[in-house]
Amino acid sequence: MEPRAKVRRLAGKQLLCTARNRALITDRPVESGGTDIGYTSGELLLLAIGSCATGGLRAFFDTRGLPSQDMVTEVFFEPAAPGERDRIVIEIGLSEELLQAGADAIKAAATSGRVASRVKLGSVIEVRFAGR
């Protein structure tokens, strides 16, 4: 079954987000009218991409018997010129030993998971009305 998430409004800018049997609250920073008790939606997107990329990289290095426990993945938005799309950057901190596996293969592994690959391919977002 494909993953599903539900989001409901709480107080102020806070939203209750649930998936499977887990829950978290999103919020906005104080300067944006929130209380800053939870991640923003953009931060959750970056965390999802980073988790997916790191999982793909871990599997890639594990199959080659290479130790990757010190690997660090950072994901961030890189603003574009007006009228253009921002870039999502996956920056991978690797040892020289891990880099020997090949830059192209490592880049492919970082975008091989279900989340990162869908974002990379530009998945279609469709809005539907429930019960219609």
Q: pTM, whole model, 2 decimals?
A: 0.89
Strand arrangement of the beta sheet that strand 15-19 belongs to: 6-9, 15-19, 22-26
Q: Could you read off the pLDDT of 18-27 as tens digits, one per residue?
A: 999 999 999 9
Q: Which residue has tokens 């953009």?
A: 42
Q: Could you read off the pLDDT of 40-96 as tens digits, one per residue?
A: 999 999 999 999 999 999 999 999 999 999 999 999 999 999 999 889 999 999 999
Output b/e per residue, 94-124; b: 16+ Cβ within 10 A: beeebeebeeeebeebbbbbebbeebeeeee
Q: On the CB side of 19, how many CA atoms lie within 13 Å of its CA? A: 7
Could you write out the three-class secondary structure of the chain? CCCCCEEEECCCCCEEEEECCEEEEECCCHHHCCCCCCECHHHHHHHHHHHHHHHHHHHHHHHCCCCCCCCEEEEEEECCCCCCCCEEEEEEECCHHHHCCCHHHHHHHHCCCHHHHHHHHCCCCCCCCCCC
Residue at 37: amino acid letter: I
The per-residue pLDDT for 132 is 63
